[in-house]
Amino acid sequence: MINYNDRLKIVGERIKKERKRNNWSKVDLLTKIYMAASSHKTITAWENGTRMPDLASLARMAEVFCCDIGYLLGDYNE
């Protein structure tokens, strides 16, 4: 079982990996999940593992990254 702090780190690493794999800036990703360019500090906090994305943001990221939420949460590796 993954503890919360480890999950924060895993989620951040996966968001960053998928964002970079798609060659998107933080603003690009924000525009895709929120349909607007919010503060890039939000993505930075997620990627650094200091904040967990809310469920709606995770669902949108899973959609734009073409993956399951479980992957982003670290439940499995593919």
Q: What is the pTM of this model?
A: 0.84
What does the pLDDT read at residue 36?
Answer: 67
Confidence bin at 10 (pLDDT 50/70/90) = very high
Confidence bin at 78 (pLDDT 50/70/90) = confident
pLDDT of residue 70 exceeding 90, the answer is yes
Question: Buried b / exposed e across 16-55, counting CB within 10 Å, b at 16+?
Answer: bebbeeeebebebbbebbeeeeeeeebbebbbebebbbee
Q: What is the CA radius of gyration of the chain?
A: 11
Model confidence over 13-54: pLDDT tens digits? Answer: 999 999 999 999 998 998 888 866 667 788 899 999 999 999
Whose CA is closest to 46, among 35, 1, 33, 36? 33
> Across residues 65-74, what is the average pLDDT?
94
What does the pLDDT read at residue 1?
Answer: 82
